[in-house]
Structure 1
């Protein structure tokens, strides 16, 4: 890294927290060594706590190695892909570490995938073995021939419980209508509990961590076909080491993590499965988000580490009984996967006394590349500074070769040991995305004089109104400051004379009486006229991914499917609603430099 830094200015080093190194050394060996070290030094500590079940680090290692031996006995060889299609349960932790111990490649699969998404991922990855939950069995059973799976290992929630809950759970499931009959045959459909009847154990050594894939993590598919990012053992170990360097929480200090982010997502996997293991911390997995349950969990477990998507933080802060709970035991908070409106950042710190550390990451970088200093200078609206051993710069959006000066807007590119080996079986797309070691993120951003980076928007989200660039997230930020708006997102929709115009989708706060003229008047006070949304649609909710990222793609697709007459009617109705003085004025050209009110993000990761 040192020789690379001769060609890249790194002003962010002066903003690092005291004790954070400029560079890290990637540990040798495989990712499973992280679990081994935790089990050896802190074996009696709780690794997982789930309802009435506690699994220590020593037990977690044993269970993972027994599973690895059983997977090998049933045909899983080194380098084989194994799909893990589970919600946040103890079995998910055991399954992941078991796949690592077997020398195989984990393919974390979203249980809520529709038929086409599931078929694409399983067939593209070449996974022949699948670990899943009984409630997802009907979906798998209907697609078995298309998926080409050899063996399915099916677990139940009761497998994660101790007596008497393990005995009561089936009765509860039948009463709720969620009990699923699974045709176990011991060969092609195997019961989870049967995998632990033998005592044989296996732990495969990783010889070359830089070349050996640990995780085939599929991108969110928010902008097109989902691709498998090949994340090696060294990639993931590097990102873990970088995270340890910036949080500065040694394993000697006991921490309690809430695992709410889906573990099948790279952000949830790295931050709430791998990082806690590196810290020998206790993890409390939560399969689904319910605000009331989460507040009670905070009271019971005294979480010291809280990692969530912005939607979770916002929802939590909107609970009417929040004042009854003490959240001051939180040591550090990390928000990711989507932009966090600045107003909510401030409110959370007022309530808890702990600032939310925002950053940036993407699947292709394991995922974290940037973060605001955890204990030092945080800049609202910024994704922070590059993590140790990571270089970042802004390049022009035309060919990506010209490096831009501070405060100039362009595409963010990064380089570091956490950057993927490439896309699975897609050499051409890999070559377009990684050039000379630099990962082209597709995010429009700028860097200030102190080395803090700001995401302006996604390259593909850019709206061009009459030839002028409009960045949706700048508008989103303004909308989120309106006292009657709970959520908002803007997209570009086609316009016969202007090319595109701005449309805002708004979720008002409960009980709020909000009108289109009111929203437009508010925006006109804070935005140039050509940035003001001309079309506004009120909704009860916005389409989102499992980690809370709004799917602008879905909204754009909805617009594309509208007929010309429907679009004309919407534009006509909008002009009728707005007063003459609110009609859209001709834009005045602005220099493409840093906007005064930017937005922050944590993309795809």
Structure 2
């Protein structure tokens, strides 16, 4: 017995193995439902409702407006809007004209949107006015319609927004922006359009929808889903819950239409059943609980974080959740405790689904039977075949209990990515099975997730599944959330890193974490690093984005490495500067010494010269002195000699001799002596 036949033995009573092949394109299906339930509310938006008859009229008017804008069968029409009535009408009107709907995330950055437009080449866009500032890259030849979200609100709400008070102004700014001159008014285009009266020209094999996805490789792509793909998954989902009642259900469409889960199950399946679809522009617990009081939900579609937050918000209030008979959770694992809490609060059943955009999206689901297993991905939907194969050799099926890659085929599986043949070839086996890229195993008759193949960690040659590490760490006291990733570790492959979010006041060391986790993990799977984060990056659906976690951690480590390298360079530079300074000081000291030596030598030479000059001067002075002395002595001697001679002469003149008559009287002698 093959695996599919084995797993079908766990189907709930009343669920058929195969579904009838849908034969009408989606717009024709909606028009047929509208003919059966014309007065039933089709769309509810904050209590303003469109009946199925009004929805049919609006989708024809939309097709007419697009036709007047030049849209023809096969053309792509880009939609960039939150969930709202205008979005629903634009989807159905585009498809009615035979054109292809291209969904975009209105919160996507400009660069991402520009890349998506480059892939699909749409020439017409209907965009929420708040997103237009990110579409300036659209050149001439592109028709852009600006959608004002406030026009879909009830009259009282629209009037309240016009009040000249700050609260009203702030709310208006959140919901709408002025229309730029290069964009056309979608409201005006709808009012002036002639309703399209023709039938949908599309065949079941024509592409109806392009949804962007990273797929199994992470490379951005546009998955092309046909009318047959989408219609098949709608019928499979309805067949899985055979107790749903046509014309009586209330679906809550909270998951965005740019996600396949919300588009196919929350929107198209609701229309197929003639349900009233309450549309929410975003997930907000107060908004959802207010709607639950006014328009109780019967079928709720969400992801685990939504269920968790709604339970917390509803606790202690008088909001009754018992109207919710069935709930479907997907996109990420749902813990058994959360599923039990939700079922206790609602009294209904929780269905876990597994899928991917390339499968429209659901492939597996948990059955509505007592045999269901918490935490399992489930068993294949009707008309869906599955295998578990060796990821390195998809032609070989693994044995029961062995981990392998899940592959699938069925009417919901797409035929390829838009204009990306190489990527399409990579996602299919040679015999046409879709490769999910997920590693799974069969236990007790159910398929369980092991992990994403591309996220598997290679630790010392051993395969480590992030989900197993996360499950072990998440149960540790003080840990609120965790993501396990691998980072390069040289020859040993990768180190397991646990990125954790802790409770307020909690403290967890790597030693504590390893000691806790070793009870359930092999030694090679134990984290070698722990990184504490304030929050983990999540997709708009609340799914932890391990790739983003890894990028953040690797980026932080690279920045730290760069900082250390920079510090080392700075230290090396400082050392070079010190060495240079020392060298400069040494040179200056040497120069100073040389200068001093030269100065000393010069001084010595100068002193020698001065001394010689002094000596010479002294010698000259001494010689001069000696000459002067000699001259003086000679002069003195001569003077003395002359004096002596004079004395001698005088003495000779004073010898006695006889007095004559000429001698005068002695009394006159003094006078004469004075005269002489």
TM-score of the aligned structures, taking structure 1 as reference length: 0.87
For residues 513-565 of structure 1, what are the alpha-carbon distances to aligned partners after superposition, in whole Å with 9 as ceiling and x for unaligned?
55544433321222222212222222222111111121111122223334569
Note if contact 2:325-2:349 (Cα within 8 Å) is conserved in structure 1: no
1:116 corresponds to? 111
Q: Structure 1: how far apart are the matches of 2:30 and 2:357?
A: 22
* Cross-structure match for 2:180: 183
Query: In the alignment, is the contact (CA less than 8 A) between 2:44 and 2:50 conserved in 1?
Result: yes
The structure 2 residue matched to 1:165, chosen from 157, 170, 183, is: 157
Q: Secondary structure at the match of 2:396?
A: coil
Structure 1 residues 430, 98: CA separation in 2 closer, same or farther (over 3 Å shift)?
same
Please give the secondary structure, in 1, of the residue aligned with 2:375.
coil
Q: Residue 155 of structure 1 contacts residue 192 of structure 1 at CA under 8 Å; is this kept in 2?
A: yes
1:31-51 Cα shifts (integer Å, max 9, x gaps): 112211220111111111112
How many Å separate the matches in 2 of 1:117 and 1:222? 19
How many matched pairs? 558
Moved more, 514-523 or 328-337: 514-523
Aligned to 1:574: none
**Quick one: higher RCO (CA 8 Å, sep 6+), 1 or 2?**
1
Task: Output one character per residue of 1:253-283: Cα deviation in whole Å (capped at 9) or x when no partner.
Answer: 5111111111111111111110100111111
Match of 1:485 in 2: 479
**In the alignment, what sits opposite 1:400?**
394
Runs of at least 5 residues in structure 2 that lack an aligned partner in the other structure: 565-676
Residues 319-352 of structure 1: CA deviation (Å, up to 9, x unaligned): 3735643212211111111222333223322333
**Structure 1 residue 508: Cα displacement:** 2.6
Residue in 2 that maps onto 1:597: none
CA distance in structure 2 between the aligned counterparts of 1:378 and 1:490, rounded to whole angstroms: 28
- Cross-structure match for 2:270: 276
| Aligned partner of residue 393 in structure 2, secondary structure | coil
Aligned pairs for 1:429-508 within 5 A:
429-435=423-429, 436-448=431-443, 450=445, 452-508=446-502
Query: 1:127–1:149: 8 Å Cα contact kept in structure 2?
Result: no
- Whether 1:70 aligns to 2:62 is no
Shift of 1:503: 1.0
1:185-204 pair list within 5 angstroms: 189-204=184-199
What is the Cα deviation at residue 481 of structure 1? 2.9
Q: Does 1:156 align with 2:156?
A: no
Q: Which residue of 2 aligns with 1:558?
A: 552
For the aligned residue pairs, the C-alpha RMSD in angstroms reads 2.4
Q: 1:13, 1:224 → 2: CA distance?
A: 32
1:416 alignment partner in structure 2: 410
Match of 1:39 among 34, 37, 44: 34
Distance 1:462 1:567 in 2: 25
Instruction: Specify the alignment match of 2:100 in structure 1.
Output: 105
The aligned counterpart of 2:204 is 209
For 2:141 and 2:336, locate their aligned partners in 1 and report how far apart those are by CA, in whole Å.
Answer: 46
Deviations 1:441-460 (A, max 9, x none): 1111112352x211111110
Kept in 1: contact 2:329–2:350 (CA 8 A): yes
1:578 aligned partner: none
Indicate conservation of the 8 Å contact 1:184/1:190, yes or no.
no
Structure 2 SS opposite 1:402: strand
1:218 aligns with 2:215: no
Q: Which residue of 2 aligns with 1:520?
A: 514
Q: Return the alpha-carbon distance in structure 1 between the equivalents of residues 340 and 213 of structure 2.
A: 31
Alignment of 1:122-137 (within 5 A): 122-137=117-132
Of the three residues 376, 399, 420, the one matched with 1:426 is 420
Structure 2 CA distance for partners of 1:25 and 1:174, relative to 1, 3 Å: same
CA distance in 1, matches of 2:560, 2:170: 46
Q: TM (normalized to structure 2)?
A: 0.78
Structure-2 change in CA distance of 1:12 and 1:206 (3 Å): farther
Which structure has the larger Rg? 2
Unmatched 5+ residue regions in structure 1? 1-5, 571-605
Distance (whole Å) between structure 2 residues aligned to residue 249 and residue 267 of structure 1: 21
Aligned partners of 1:407 and 1:449 also within 8 Å: no
Which deviates further from its counterpart, 355-364 or 428-437? 428-437
Decide whether aligned partners of structure 1 residues 536 and 215 sit closer, same or farther in structure 2, where only a CA change above 3 A counts. same
Is contact 1:62-1:201 (8 Å) kept? no
Q: Are the equivalent residues in 1 in contact too, given 2:126–2:186 (CA < 8 A)?
A: no
Q: Is the 8 A contact 1:218 1:226 kept in 2?
A: yes
Aligned residue in 2 for 1:14: 9
Shift, 1:92, TM fit: 1.0
Distance 1:514 1:350 in 2: 33
